[in-house]
Amino acid sequence: MADATAREKPKTMNWSPSGPSLIVEGDNLAALCSLPDETFRLIYIDPPFNTGKAQVRHSLKTIRSATGSRLGFKGERYETVKGAKVAYDDTFEDYWSFLQPRLTEAWRLLTDDGTLYLHLDYREVHYAKVYLDSIFGSQCFLNEIIWAYDYGARARKKWPTKHDNILIYVKNPDNYIFNKHDVDSERYKTPGLAVEPSGRDFLPSDVWWHTIVSTMGKEKTGYPTQKPEGVLRRIIQASSKPGDWILDFFAGSGTTGAVAQALGRKFVLIDQNPASIATIKVRLSPHLRSSGDTQETVQFCASSSPERHLAG
Ligand SMILES: C[S@@+](CC[C@H](N)C(=O)[O-])C[C@H]1O[C@@H](n2cnc3c(N)ncnc32)[C@H](O)[C@@H]1O
C-alpha cells in the first residue's frame, strides 16, 4: 500500500466518465469550471457557514499516564491529551459573492435528473433559498431537511440552536431520482424520542435526528465540522444509484467520498485546505492504489486551470 500521508506532486485534474474517483486539491471554482456540463447525478455541499471565526479542532488521543484521571484495563491509568490542530477559515467579507458563482456551477454540473443538497445553518439558509429559487426555479425546490442534534454548548439568552438546514433542489421536477425503498430507516439516537416505525416502507420525514460525530467515535477524523456518515448515507441512497457520479466541492474530511465509496458510487471531492486532503488520504487509504494494482479507484490531483470546459 502506498504511504497515504506522503506528499507527492499531484497529477493535473483529468476527469473522465470511466476514470477513477478524484480528490482534488485547490480552489473549487477553478476546478468546477474545468468539469463538463451535466456530469453528476448528486451534488452534496457543506460550505463554511460564515460563522465569522476559524473552525479549529484538536485531535484527541488517550495515553497511558501514572497520573491520568481515567482507570483502564488491569488498573492502568490514562489521560486524554490534545493532538495536532486542524483548522480552516470561516470568515467571509462578502459570503454571497463567494457562494453564488459556485452554486451556479453546481446547477450546470447536475444531470437533467440530478439533485443538489446544500447544507447550511440558520445564518445563511434563507438567502440561499432565495438564490437557489432564482437559478433552479422555485418549482425545483424539493425539501428543506432539518438535521437535529442535541450536543455541544447551549446558549442561555436565546433558544439553543440545535439543528442544521439542508436545502434540496432537483434540476427537473418531472424527472429525478428518489429511491425511497433504498433509504435506511436508521434509528436516530436522541434520548426520549418516540419510537418510529421501521422497515422497508418507512420513509423518514424531513426532520432527521442524528447524533453529531462523537469525539471518541470510530468515524472521528479530527477535522472540524465533520458531518456524520449516517446523514450522508441517507442522502446518497435516496438520490443516486450505484455507479453514479457524486460531487462534493467543500469536501472537508471526505465524508461524502467515504460513504459514496462504501455504496458503490464514484465521486469527485474538492478542497483547498491541505489539511483536508491529508485527512481524506488517511480516511480513504484502503481504496488507494497499492503498488501491484493496475487500476486506481481513487486518484489525487491538483485543480486544473480555471478555463471553462469546452464540450466536444
Ligand atoms: C464545513 S467544511 C466541510 C465538512 C465536510 N462536509 C465533512 O463532513 O468533513 C467546509 C470545507 O470547505 C473548504 N473550502 C472553503 N472554501 C473553499 C474553496 N474556495 N475551495 C475549496 N474548498 C473550500 C474548507 O477548507 C473546509 O474543508
Q: pLDDT grade, residue 201 (50/70/90)? A: low
Burial of 295 (0-12, 13-18, 19+ CB in 10 A): exposed
HEC sequence for 207-267: EEECCCCCCCCCCCCCCCCCCCHHHHHHHHHHHCCCCCEEEECCCCCCHHHHHHHHCCCEE
Does residue 308 carry a pLDDT above 60? no
**Residue whose cell numbers read 474530511:** 253
Q: Distance, CA 282 to ligand 1 centroid (Å)? A: 17
Does residue 309 carry a pLDDT above 70? no
Look at 69 and 296; give whichever has higher pLDDT: 296
Cα–Cα distance between 303 and 22 in angstroms, integer?
Answer: 10
Q: How far is CA 157 from CA 49, 102, 154, 161, in A?
A: 22, 35, 9, 11
Q: What percent of the chain has pLDDT over 90?
A: 60
Show the domains of the chain with their CATH numbers: 11-54+89-302 (3.40.50.150), 57-88 (no CATH)
Q: Distance, CA 27 to ligand 1 centroid (Å)? A: 10
Q: Coil, helix or strand for 134?
A: helix
C-alpha grid cell for residue 180?
425511497
Supply φ then ψ for residue 133, to 5 degrees. Answer: -60, -35
Ligand 1 binding site (Cβ under 6 Å of any ligand atom): 27-28, 46-48, 88, 223, 225-227, 250, 252-253, 255, 270-273, 276
Cα–Cα distance between 103 and 64 in angstroms, integer?
Answer: 48
